[in-house]
Every structure is written in C-alpha cells, then in structure tokens.
Amino acid sequence: MRIILIAIAMALVAASCSGKSGGAESGKIEVVASVAPITDIVKNVAGDAADVQGLIPEGVDSHTFEPTADTARLIADADVIFLNGLDLEDPTLALARSDKKDGAEIFLLGEHTVQPDGYLYDFSFPRSAGHPNPHLWMDVAYAIHYTELVRDELSRIDPGNAATYRANADAYLTTLRTLNDAVQKAVDTIPPQDRLLLTYHDSFAYFAHHYGMRVIGAIQPADFSEPSAQEVAALIDQIRTEHVPAIFGSEVFPSPVLAQIAQESGAKYEDTLRDDDLPGDTGQPEHSYVGLMLYDVRTIVTDLGGDASALDAVPTSNPYD
C-alpha cells in the first residue's frame, strides 16, 4: 500500500512538472467522463479549453467495471464528472460521490435526457430487475442531447470559455445531425421484414426504437452470465420462425454460444458490434463515437440486406486529435 502511495505521489509530481496536466498549471478545468463514447462527446465540446480524461478504460465491460486507484485519482482532481447514469456505472458513481473535491459537479447525462417514462426495459434489462437499459447514446438523437448538456454544463462551470464550448458544440452537432439522418436513411434500405435485431449484448433498445427496427431478443442474460441450454434452444427456434438473416455479437463479450446459435439456426453471425469500445486506435478518425455508430450501422444494415452507402456522407475526423 505504502509503495503504491509513493508511486502515485511520484506520478502526480511528474504529471504536474510535465506541464501537460491541467488544473492550476494550465488554468484549464479538469473534466472526467465514463465510457469512451461519452468521453469522446465531451472531448469534442471541450476542445483545447479543458482537460478531458476517460474513467472507464476501453475494452473493459462498463456494466461490471469496478473503480481502480486510477479512477480515484482522476475523480479527486476533477472539476466536473460526466457519467451516463441509469445505473450503468454505479460503483464509479458511488466513488465520485464520496471522493470528489469540494465544489466539483457530478452530471448524469442519461437522467437529464430521458425521464423514467421514457426508460426502456427489455431482455437483459427487465423491468423486474429495476435497472433500465442504459444505452441511450446508441440513439444519435440522444447523443445530440448529451452534447447540448455537456456544452451547457461546461459553460456554467467555466464561463470564460463559454464561447469556445458553443463553437465546438455547434460544429460537432452539425456532424451528429448528418449522422442521425444518414443512420435513418441506411436503416430504411433494409427490407422491412428484416429490420430485426438479435444481439448478444442488449445495447440497441433506444437505437431500434428511434430508427424503426425491432429487437427480438438478446442472448446475454440480465446477470451477464451465459444463457441456459433451454434459452439457447428458444433463441434458435425464434431465429428460424422469424427468418432472421443475421445475428450480432459484441466485441467486448466474445461468446461461443453466439456461434453455436448461428450455426444451428442458419443465421449469419457477426461478433464485432460495440457500444462502448471505439473502433480503430487512438488518433485514427474512426476511433470516435461517430466512428462507432458508423461501424455498427454499416455492419447491421449490410448483413440484413440493406445499402449502407448513405453513411459515406458522414465525416469522422475528430478535431481534438
């Protein structure tokens, strides 16, 4: 423990000497955000005016993430903490409430975007368990609202940079509106009877509701374990009955069950969708929220027999990289 504390202290000294950290050194506010798509949205609004860091490392299951010493250090330094809420990051939220510095704000983007009557409960997030499906950002209209909330919150906390936040948000909102229109156009090219989503991880509830698809099931049970043999058999029956052309797995949750279901049902399977792990590497244009949506929608639309070319009109470059 002592060695860890010394190491953390040395890291902090190194960081403050490098001039790259924010706070008092740079005069910039310190901002943290939870999952990578939300961190990316915040970075697009903040630009160079604030220091933004992600709390939940990419490739980690955000639903079961337990805060680490790094999370604690980032939270303790932050002026504002953006989380999704809707029970997505409960352990991180608890840590933020206990460890944030005096005057720091915790802002739950999901709770400020939909009211309880707009929450969706479904396969892996049943109403009986009491946790709504938290994946609002997979609906671009909600990501647009997140962007507006981030702009307003950063401007309130750091009014000296309000004009910068507004200009950055305006540019990003233009891209998001183009994305939103393109997603709808692309989904509309899927034959109507094939606008069906059966995914491993249940992250498309709000997406499907907005763009006119039907989520017919999710393979991952509510406790994030693997489905039982009976549940697998029922899913295979359902895929055959509904003539589902393709089923979709998630990058973060490799599952042999998905392959088995695909093989026995005759559906094509694709196991690279993502909802919190950005495609590509840091610095690449597709390593962004917009890149994530383009990747998923292109994959879904193409595998279900549609034409994804409307998405080609969406720019992916990230101004802060």
Structure tokens at 256: 């042999």
CA angle in degrees (0–180, nearest 5) for 12-17-18: 100
- Window 236 to 295, contacts with Zn ion (CB under 5 A): 275
- Where are any strands of DSSP class E within 245-317? 246-250, 268-273
Using the rule CB under 5 A, is 296 a contact of Zn ion? Answer: no
Residue 126 beta carbon to Zn ion: minimum distance, rounded to whole angstroms: 16
Is the Cβ of residue 159 or residue 254 nearer to Zn ion in the bound state?
254
Find the shortest distance in angstroms from Cβ 201 to Zn ion. 6
Give the interface segment with Zn ion, choosing from 10-18, 64-72, 119-127, 196-204 (CB under 5 A): 196-204
Q: How far apart are the first and last CA of the chain?
A: 36
The nearer residue to Zn ion, 40 or 275, going by C-beta atoms, is: 275
The correct pick among 39, 71, 199, 203 for binding Zn ion (CB under 5 A) is 203
Contacts of 98 (CB under 8 A, 6+ apart): none
Closest to Zn ion by CB, 90 or 99 = 90
At which residue do the structure tokens 């720091």 appear? 104
CB 129 to Zn ion: min, Å:
15
The least distance separating Zn ion from the CB of residue 236, rounded to whole angstroms, comes to 24
Identity of the residue, 84 or 168, whose beta carbon is nearer to Zn ion in the bound complex: 84
The token duo for 300 is 């879904």
Q: What is the residue-wise DSSP string for 58-120?
A: TTS-TTT----HHHHHHHHH-SEEEE--TTTTHHHHHHHHHHSPTT-EEEETTTTT--GGG--
State which residue, 80 or 208, has the beta carbon closest to Zn ion. Answer: 208
| Residue ranges in contact with Zn ion by CB under 5 A | 203, 275
